[in-house]
Amino acid sequence: MTDIVIYHNPECGTSRNALAIIRNAGIEPHVVEYLKTPPSRALLESLIERAAMTPRALLREKGTPFADLGLDNPDLTDAELIDAMMAHPILINRPLVVSPLGVKLCRPSEEVLDLIPAAQRGAFAKEDGEQVVDAAGNRVTGS
């Protein structure tokens, strides 16, 4: 059994697609609806570090209080950005996926293919119809 965790927002198409790609490999991940159950500060800091990204790179702007909170200010420290994410979990971009192969913000959703240690079990198309996996279970590369 492969242990995969997805920090998921069911309202987000990218997050829904990443979850469906994981399931297309026959894996049922541990789904954390992070808006209902936000990660602790220590866990969020660990995920950011393990994903080799900065807190700013994990910030979501669209549909969040990003602008109202002045988070575009380049003088804000990493700790201040994490403070904002802790106070407003909607600022945490998604889907963030944890697997034995690493931690990654999976935008676009097919980035999750790099974290799945099992083959895809068949074709997969995203909600918008874009084909990401062919009938043989192989990743479709863009033209």
Catalytic residue among 6, 7, 8, 12: 12
Structure tokens at 11: 């309202």
Round to whole Å and give the CA distance between 30 and 14: 17
Round to whole Å and give the CA distance between 118 and 72: 39
For the chain, where are the E strands, in sequence order? 5-8, 30-33, 96-99, 102-105, 124-125, 131-133
Q: Is 106 part of the annotated catalytic residue set?
A: no
Nearest of 26, 122, 12 to residue 139 by alpha carbon: 122
Structure tokens at 85: 């994410």
Catalytic residues: 12
